Amino acid sequence: MGGEVEATRLDSEEAVKKVRRLLGWQGEHFDDAVRCGGAPHNQLRKGEMILFTGHALAGLALPPSSFLLMLLEAFGLQLNHLTPNSIASAATFAHLCEMFVGVRPCVKLFRQFFVPRALGSIKGAAGAYYFQARVDPESPYIARAPAGKWDRWKEDWVIAKVESHDRLKFPRSLLPESERADWEAVPELEAEFQPLLRRIAFLAREGLTSLMVMHDFLRRHLAPLQERSRGAWLYTGVNDATRLERGADPDARMLSVMLRKLCGPSVVVGDIQIPHSCRPLCSDQAERRRIRSLMPTLDDVGLASVQAGDTDRRG
């Protein structure tokens, strides 16, 4: 696989079971949906992809969301061009939009806050690019979470079944400079985005951080970059249909391990307490309706061509 993914630590059925659980693929009918990552990439069966477990840990589950696929399309990237930290950034952005702002995530808004960058000296194409936060005092974003160190993340991968898509093929090469020429461009947002930008600026001033948002989707067993039937603002609890695993929430120790993997060993409990003024929209129906009544209707790209009426399912 370009010389960089030739071996794997996930070479046992027990290890693969852990990945199935990360994806929410429980039960006998998922037994053949994930297999050990020992086969060369040119021997994949039809409808299979290379899935790095670091991506699954960071908020990606299958099938991938249409937002994620459109984001990759916008920059000409393959999924495995990205580092786990970049997947975490995109997942946190998606959950922020749904659970705290009340809109669907869209590429146009993402580009307001992030820009892809090349890592520079790297072996192969996997993990060659990452999302860097823009610094724009006119459009403030919530404080970023510290990034964990993923020195050997390319060694942990499996082969997973998924509907074929060009953006899920394993990248064989880096992108030419000509294909990266417009990455820096910041799209001009329509006036309808202003309430949304004000909401994000409010959340940032009140102290909501990316670490808090990440902890929120992890503890609810949600994968923000998975295709789901409805937005996180309609989350109903431990038996919600959009959860990866129904039932009790993960214990504090498990969450602590996951956060430290994603954000490094310096994470402490006090860093994940969400300010009351920023409480998740699923927890207060009246506040959810009020906030969402102010927001435009978005699709994966940007402003939807037809704006829906004031309903909990708009966005």
Domain that holds residue 211: 65-142+170-294
Summarised one tens digit per residue, pLDDT across range 36-76 is 876 556 678 889 999 999 999 999 999 999 999 999 999 99
Residue 262 lies inside a defined structural domain of this protein: yes
Residue 245 lies inside a defined structural domain of this protein: yes
Q: Is the pLDDT of residue 110 over 90?
A: yes
Residue 183 lies inside a defined structural domain of this protein: yes
Among 2-16, 21-35, 151-165, 285-299, name the one with the lowest average pLDDT: 2-16
Q: What residue type is assigned to position 240 of the chain?
A: D
Summarised one tens digit per residue, pLDDT across range 241-277 is 999 998 877 777 777 778 888 888 777 766 889 999 9
Q: How many CB atoms lie within 10 A of CB 87?
A: 25
Apex CA 173: angle with CA 170 and CA 176, to 5°? Answer: 130
Q: Is the pLDDT of residue 109 over 70?
A: yes
Domain total for the chain? 1
Q: Higher confidence at residue 164 or residue 38?
A: 164
Average pLDDT across the chain, whole number:
88
Q: How confident is the model at residue 150 (pLDDT cuts 50, 70, 90)?
A: confident
Residue 207 lies inside a defined structural domain of this protein: yes
Summarised one tens digit per residue, pLDDT across range 170-216 is 998 999 999 999 999 999 999 999 999 999 999 999 999 999 999 99
pTM for the complete prediction?
0.92
Q: How confident is the model at residue 308 (pLDDT cuts 50, 70, 90)?
A: low
Residue 24 lies inside a defined structural domain of this protein: no
Question: Do residues 314 and 292 lie in contact, with contact meaning Cβ atoms separated by under 8 Å?
Answer: yes
Question: Do residues 266 and 256 lie in contact, with contact meaning Cβ atoms separated by under 8 Å?
Answer: no
